[in-house]
Amino acid sequence: MRKHGLSLSGIALMVSILFLGGCWDRSEINDMAIVTAAAIDKLDGQSIELTLQLFIPKALGGGSGSGGGAPSGGQQLTFVRSGKGLNIADAASKLQARLPRRIFWGHCKVFILGEAFAREGVKEEMDYLFRHPQPRERAFMFVSQGQAAEMLRPVPPLERYTAEVARELSEQKIGIRVTLKEFLEMLDGEGQAAALPYLRLQPPQKGEKKNQSVPFIAGTAVFKRDKMNGLLTMRTTRGALWLRKEIQKASITVRLQGTKREFITMTPIRQRIEIKPRIHDGQWIIHVHIHTVGDLVQNGTNLDPMNPDLLHLMEQAVQRSIADRVEEALDRLQRNLNADIIGFGESFHRAYPKPWRQARERWDELFPKVQVRMDIRVNIRRPGLGSVPAAVPSDEVKEK
Amino acid sequence: MPRVCMIRQGVRGMGGFFRKSSGTNGNRGSEDRNAGTKGNVPASSLSSDHDANVEQLRQIYANCADVVFRPFLIGGVTKATVIYIEGLTSVKDLNENFLGVLMDPSAEDLSIQSLLESKVRISKVEKVKSCEDCVAALSSGYPVLLAEGQSDGMALGLSAWDKRQIEEPSAEASVRGPREGFTETIGVSVSQLRRILKTPALKIEALKIGSLSRTQVMIAYLEGIVDKTVLDEVRERLKRIRIDGILESSYLEEMIEDAPYSPFPQVKTTERPDTACSGLLEGRVVVLTEGTPFAMVVPTTLFSLLQSQEDYYQHYIVSTAIRWLRYLFVALSLLLPSLYVAVLTFHQEMVPTSLLITMAASRESVPFPALVEALLMEVTFEVLREAGVRLPKQVGAAVSIVGALVIGQAAVQAGIVSAPMVIVVAITGIASFMVPRYVVGLAIRMLRFPMMLLAGSLGLLGIMLGLILILIHLSNLRSFGVPYLSPVAPLKPGELKDVAIRAPWWAMDTRPHMSENDRLVRQPPGQRPGPHRKKQ
Amino acid sequence: MTAMLEKGKISAVQMSFLLYAIVIGTVIISVPATIGKHAKNDLWLSPIWASLFGMIAVGVSIGLHRMFPRLTLIQSLSRIFGRIPGKLLGLAYLVFYLILNGHGIRLYADFIVGTALPSTPILVLMATMIFVASVAVYGGIEGIGRSSQVIVPLYVLTFLIIVLLLLPDAKPNRLFPMLENGIVPSLKGAVTPQGWFAETLLLSFILPCLSDSKKAMKWGLAAVLAVMTTLVLANLIILLLYGNNVSRYVYPLLSATRYISYAEFFENVEAALVAIWVLGNFIKFSIIQYAVVLGTAQWLELADYRPLVWPIGFVMLLIGFWSLPNQMVLTQYSSTVFPYYSLLFQTILPLFILFVAFLRIRASRGGPTSG
């Protein structure tokens, strides 16, 4: 019978080596400063300021007895610290010098870039986030109005800390949702343009304390190469989302033609969006097919939606609204900002590799000239729980 | 020192061989060293001289107050002595069926032989030719008759002693299934096997092992099904044993193991006759030992040790689910504390953020690093468990539950350990009870500690290294020639039906393939039950 | 010369698992990035071309085995070329595999230190791995074969689960444009992995221990196909996730796994991937060390290979530690030097050896043999 040949002294030797050497990577949780969000700003055009939102374990009540649970009263769960340096790595190490615990990026889900910093170009600092093994690629990126650090300071009423707020907002996909990986992809993609959600602080309302405000998504920051060069409003963002095929549960409110102030609202549930590139006689064309399906949510007119013809009117109205939004977005992106964040370049590359290879140097000139033909179809499938408009007496309901 | 007795090959009557060596080994064996203590049993045969024989035996059994020498006259004429050990003999039978008959005056004319043939109403009678045969017979409770003019003695099969009733084995209880267990009396155990497998193919070979204890050991197997190489190996190893006393089958186990340094058991021990018989039906060999209800089933594999007999009595779907749960929890009982230590110390990014925050909060007041905390708690738990085993039943249950709860709670409140750690230890403890065989559970418990140390120094990598070492060890381990990880490695797809799932009985067509085996098929295939089939 | 140093036997299935682990172990960690650098979008085609070299190596090994059923490569070299040239060639092969394993262990250790355990000295990582591999080799090929039967299915299962989990983030249109620059980029991308595929030549060290060598061809090719499929899948999923950026990542599959996130709860599972890669690599390093140890014992005509296990392990440790200053040099070596080194030793030379052997057999027996 075969011995597996491991003598007792061999085992003892091995074990002692492990312990004499020490455990090099051992780190206790309580020796770590857990970062929940990071904000990057550029100061006087030279140095980088890195602000970290760090978690306070003590605030959860400690481990003795009843431990865990929500913080008592308005006690803050996180606190904020800044460090300055030549780049992020440098700033991080200066910041570390002022913290009793080691910075741990593993749970940082939110990165906010200050607007000033974004406008000057972000590519050097992006390298740190890409190369260092700790930051997660799944973290969400934002651009903030003004100083990014300001986004981290307030204490939000609903979530535990502002990083949560930003993250949850992103998940809802009202604006653009961009992870670190996607941002990097956009930056070195064919379109050479990128977009990030734009955060703004909501001013505190009456009765709320000064620091009790909440950041919210106010639009989209558009980057050309790695510099931010413009902003899309929420309206225009909506159009861009249609083109990026990222629209989710937004709601579309539209005024019916011929009426002054009567609106209907519809929520799209499912959409099929196809972006087809075509080169025809030297003219670069993109066909956008949008087919969206949804339910009626609010009917402010006195038209009866149960009538297919009247329903069709409503659908047309929604169609026009979508077309308008998309037009607006295209206008701004193609002519105004000249930033291809909608993936037109990629589409052409995939469909027409050879012409693309010749043309890609001149994409800056070509992009504004791309013609966009839209084909939008809307179907309202269900009227919700009510049929005729509510609170309208039956004789006023238009059935034809 | 006179050389001790010769080997008596083929003497079946006594029920055993002698474990003495022949030739060279004897002088080096433990016999000679202990010779002074056991009383020399001279190699001499019995002579026709009745008094000389009795005198010899008296000398051998000097200072043994429980050996009774009863001289009497056969038929009032011939001098005879019956020797027996009180407590091991059925005195009533001795009196009525033997002494009564022989002392009757009508016995005078008949020879001993004809007396035995016609008058003595005892079912088993054997000749003894030498002193040590007498000693062997007496030790087994057989009274020995020495008569004037007879050069042989007679051993009478009148052994009887108080024995434990057949009870449900405490360590292997089951919800459904037979509730009988083996007892310390080997005869009863063998009879239990016979009752289940009523075939003459069930062969029982007897050995006596242990120079002072001369414990009877029986090898049981089903001829035609058992693997001959394994059987020969078992016999060979048992015969090789030189020891002074066998008190439990674990002595045998340790002496015949393939890998004595391995924490994993290479024999399956069981108290249940049905488990033993299921092993016999699979072609394994069962070794019974006098004096203990624990029988050994060899060869065994890791997966066989992780099965419980009850798996076969419950519905197969349920059993399959329970098997999977069992595998998972066996793995957990080995790995959970190590994983906890590794993740918390090296891979904190694996923990979901909110959980991490809670854990960080609960660990704020704990002074120890995770590894030390884990070791502390595990050791405490082991201590509690071991201590609980010795306590009387009523007190034991209360102490362990209350003790665990109170200690755990108090420790958490004092800030010595964190609450998640207590949970981890509790789950690990429960998981270790999922292991059906206590010994495997022991092995895993032991291995848990080195794993924790590895996890504490190298994190998940350390755990992997530990698992690799265990895997290498298991891969190289054999139990009587059968690879320990069979049928997973080497892969035998046909046998996986009893490992990965518990196939219903109508699908269990073949026996496990231990080595080359003739009788692989145990039942005709195609017996899936269904609505009544067409009558032929 | 034909004395068997290894008395254990393994089955063809176990051999297949071993082959799978040998190739996949290190190739999946960082080679996709190299493939991506040359092949861009077509990187998923490259493993298909490269697998050809694996099949060649398997074919040569089995061919040699049929001619010399109980000899490993080292032993048969002396038979084919005569004593001195055979020994020289044998030495060259032993050195080749010695260095291969040393570098492989270095790749593995760099990976672990770079991603999971940054402060641990690389020597510790390499030493522990060599330690466990040596223990395994000491126990003999049967133990390694059986361990692989447990580890490899687990490995494959984990890999498939990870691919499944990554599907939601994979965008199929990144597949296009296909073959944008013709077939050449994917061929260029195949240059590096072919060296890895050809490591199946190690089969020639294991074949004498097979218990059922009739099935060897079938299972050997099955292993090559399995490796090819795994690599194609891996490359595909990386492509669908990262598009053109694959070569920017040093460890693409690892970075991809880091991206998995479900319900905010099931996140950061790359530690599990690292763990399973450790297991797979253990098999690879054990088998190669086994081959080198066995080969050296046969080369020196010793009676037992066991005394060589620890010294050779130690030499591999030294090679891994001292031969390369940093990870970049290793990557460069793997893509510029190793492909040609391997092409010579694992493809061209074996074909030549087979050819010569065939001629010899024919000449000595006066006719084609049955094997």
A240 plus A102 within the same structural domain:
no
Residue C355 falls inside a structural domain: no
Tell me, yes or no, whether A291 and A340 share the same domain.
Answer: yes
Percent residues over pLDDT 70 in chain C: 96
For residue range C111-149, what is the model confidence (pLDDT) as tens digits? 998 888 888 888 888 999 999 999 999 888 888 999 999
When the pLDDT of each residue in chain B is averaged and rounded to a whole number, the result is: 81
How many domains does chain A divide into?
2
Contact B472 C145 (CB under 8 A): no
- Is A138 within 8 Å of C173 when comparing Cβ atoms? no
Report the range of poorest mean pLDDT among A140-144, A152-156, B25-29, B494-498.
Answer: B25-29
| pLDDT value at residue B36 | 37
**Confidence category of residue B42, pLDDT binned at 50, 70, 90:** low
pLDDT of residue A68: 42
> Domain limits at A119?
30-61+75-232
**Chain A residues in contact with chain B using a Cβ-Cβ cutoff of 8 Å:** 1-4, 15, 18-19, 23, 25-30, 32, 34, 36, 55, 57-65, 67-68, 104, 106-107, 109, 134, 136
Same-domain pairing of A195 and A240 = no
Q: Which two tokens stand for residue B120?
A: 């003595």
Q: Tell me if C270 is assigned to some domain.
A: yes
Confidence class of residue A385 from pLDDT cuts 50, 70 and 90? confident
Measured distance between the N- and C-terminal CA atoms of chain C, rounded to whole angstroms = 21
Identify residue A100 by its one-letter amino acid code. P
| Rg over CA atoms, chain B | 30
Residues of chain B contacting residue C265, judged by C-beta atoms under 8 Å apart: 352
| Confidence bin at C102 (pLDDT 50/70/90) | very high
- Please provide the DSSP assignment of B395-436 as one string: HHHHHHHHHHHHHHHHHHHHTSS-HHHHHHHHHHHHHHHT-S
Tokens standing for residue B307: 């099965």
Residue A9 belongs to a domain: no
Q: Give B250-277 pLDDT, tens digit per residue.
A: 889 888 888 888 889 999 999 999 999 9
Per-residue pLDDT band for C314 (boundaries 50, 70, 90) equals: very high
Quick check: C125 and B347 CB within 8 A?
Answer: no
Place of tokens 């990083």: A163
Residue C5 lies in a domain: no
CATH number, domain containing residue A277: 3.30.300.210
Question: B515 vs chain C: nearest CA distance in angstroms?
Answer: 14
- Measured in angstroms, the CA of B456 and the nearest CA of chain A are apart by 8
Q: Domain of C262? A: 12-350
- Please say which residue of A206, A232, A258 terminates a domain: A232
Residue B19 has a pLDDT of 34
| Torsion angle, alpha carbons of A91, A93, A99, A104, to 10 | 100
Question: Has residue C6 been placed in a domain?
Answer: no
Q: Work out the minimum CA distance from B516 to partner chain A, whole angstroms.
A: 19
Query: Does the structure show a pLDDT above 50 at B26?
Result: no
CA distance B370 to chain A (A): 7
Same domain, yes or no: A147 and A123: yes
Partner residue opposite C131 with nearest CB, options A14, A137, A350:
A14
Q: Which of C206, C191, C202, C192 is nearest to C107 (CA)?
A: C192
Coil, strand or helix at B351: coil
On whether any CB of chain A is under 8 Å from the CB of B384, the answer is: no
B362 touches chain A (CB under 8 A): yes
In a domain, A70, yes or no: no
- Please report the pLDDT score of residue A382 as a whole number: 83
C9 pLDDT more than 60: yes
Q: Are strands B482-483 and C261-262 parallel, antiparallel or unpaired?
A: unpaired
Asked if B459's CB is within 8 angstroms of C264's CB, the reply is no
Q: Which residues contact B62 (CB under 8 A, 6 or more apart)?
A: B39
Read off the pLDDT band of B467 (50, 70, 90): very high
CA–CA min distance C111, chain B (Å): 12
CA angle A384, A388, A392 (to 5 degrees): 125
**CB distance B259–A1 less than 8 Å?**
yes
Q: What is the mean pLDDT of chain A?
A: 82
Cβ of residue C176 closer than 8 Å to a chain B Cβ: no
Residue type present at position B371? L
Confidence class for position C74, pLDDT limits 50, 70, 90: confident
**For residue A24, is it within any domain?**
no
The answer to whether residues A292 and A382 belong to one domain is yes
User: Which among A334, A253, A332 has a CA at the least distance from the CA of A298?
Assistant: A253
Q: Name the neighbours of B, counting chains with at least 3 Cβ pairs within 8 A.
A: A, C
Render pLDDT for B374-403 as a digit per residue (tens, 0 to 9). 998 889 888 888 877 777 777 777 776 777
- B413 and A26 in contact by Cβ < 8 A? no
Q: Is residue C365 part of a domain?
A: no
pLDDT at B464: 92
DSSP secondary structure string for all residues of A72-92: STT--SEEEEEEEESSHHHHH
Please name the member of A4, A25, A350 whose beta carbon is closest to the beta carbon of C119. A25
CATH number for the domain harbouring residue C54? 1.20.1740.10
Q: C92: distance to nearest CA of chain B, Å?
A: 30
Q: Confidence class of residue A21 from pLDDT cuts 50, 70 and 90?
A: low
Same domain assignment for residues A222 and A248:
no
Q: Are B369 and B416 in contact (CB under 8 A)?
A: no
- d(C-alpha B330, C-alpha B321), whole Å: 14
Name the closest residue on chain B to residue A34, using Cα atoms.
B357
Task: Please tell me the total count of domains within chain C.
Answer: 1
pLDDT at A70 over 70: no
Nearest CA in chain C to B463: C275
**Do A205 and A305 sit in the same domain of this protein?**
no
Answer yes or no: do A383 and A296 share one domain: yes
Does residue C149 form part of some domain? Answer: yes
- Taking one residue from A and the other from B, the number of pairs with CB-CB distance under 8 angstroms is 107
Closest Cβ opposite residue C261 in set A133, A138, A184:
A138
Mean predicted confidence (pLDDT) in C360-368:
72
Most confident of A153-167, B94-108, C50-64: C50-64
Cis peptide before B71 (omega within 30 of 0): no
Tell me if A267 is assigned to some domain: yes
The burial class, CB within 10 Å (0-12 / 13-18 / 19+), for C119 is exposed
Burial (CB count <10 Å: 0-12, 13-18, 19+), residue B277: buried
- Residue B198: per-residue pLDDT: 92
Q: What mean pLDDT comes out for the span B291-304?
A: 90
CA-only gyration radius of chain C, Å = 20
**pLDDT value at position B24?**
37
Q: Provide the pLDDT for residue B16.
A: 33
Is B457's Cβ below 8 Å from some Cβ in A? yes
Query: Is C127 an 8 Å CB contact of chain B?
Result: no
B355 three-class SS: helix
E strands of chain C, at which residues? 261-262, 266-267
Cross-chain Cβ contact A134/B349 below 8 Å: yes
Question: Would you state the pLDDT for residue B519?
Answer: 56
* Highest-confidence segment of A185-194, A249-258, B312-321: B312-321
pLDDT for C246-291, tens place per residue? 888 888 888 888 888 776 667 777 888 888 999 999 999 999 999 9
Cα–Cα dist B248/B293, whole Å: 9
Looking at A232, A267, A283, the residue that finishes a domain is A232
> Residue B503: what residue type?
A
pLDDT band of B321, cuts 50, 70, 90: very high
User: Are A48 and A96 part of one and the same domain?
Assistant: yes
The pair of structure tokens assigned to C6 is: 């290894």
Say if A88 falls within a structural domain: yes
Residues A191 and A293 in one domain: no
Residue range C84-108: average pLDDT? Answer: 92
Whether A142 maps to a domain, the answer reads yes
> Quick check: C139 and A2 CB within 8 A?
yes
pLDDT average, residue stretch B328-347: 90
In a domain, C359, yes or no: no
For residues A200 and A238, state if they share a domain.
Answer: no
- Determine the distance in angstroms separating the CA of B229 from the nearest CA of chain A, rounded to an integer: 14
Structure tokens at C61: 């090994």
Interface test with B, best of A6, A27, A29 (most B CBs within 10 A): A29
Chain C contact for B463 (CB, 8 A cutoff): yes
Q: What is the DSSP string of A233-259?
A: -HHHHHHHHHHHT---S--EEEEPTT-
Q: How far is B456 from chain C (nearest CA, A)?
A: 13
Residue A141 lies in a domain: yes
Q: What is the pLDDT of residues A280-300, one digit of tens each?
A: 888 888 899 999 888 888 888
pLDDT, tens only, A310-328: 888 888 888 888 898 899 8
Q: How confident is the model at residue A2 (pLDDT cuts 50, 70, 90)?
A: very low
**Contact check, Cβ <8 Å, C275/B460:** yes
Q: What average pLDDT does range B88-103 have in this prediction? A: 84
Q: What confidence category does residue B466 fall into, taking pLDDT thresholds of 50, 70 and 90?
A: very high
Residue C162, C-beta contacts closer than 8 angstroms, at least 6 positions apart: C256, C257, C260, C269, C273
With respect to residue A201, please indicate whether it lies within any of the assigned structural domains: yes
Looking at residues B436-458, what average pLDDT do you find?
87
B56-70 in b/e form (b: 16+ CB < 10 A) is bbeebbeeeeebbee
**Partners of residue C114 in chain A, C-beta under 8 Å:** 133
Q: Write down the pLDDT at residue C137.
A: 93
Which chain B residue shows the shortest CA-CA distance from A33? B360
Q: Where does a domain end: A211, A232, A253?
A: A232
Which one-letter DSSP state was computed for residue A398?
B
In contact, B419 and B431? CB cutoff 8 Å: no
Q: Is the pLDDT of residue C72 over 60?
A: yes
What are the CA-CA distances from residue A209 to residues A157, A162, A266, B128, C88 (Å)?
Answer: 11, 16, 37, 107, 85
pLDDT at B516 (0 to 100): 52
Confidence of residue A11 (pLDDT cuts 50, 70, 90): low
In this structure, the answer to whether residues A158 and A277 fall within a common structural domain is no
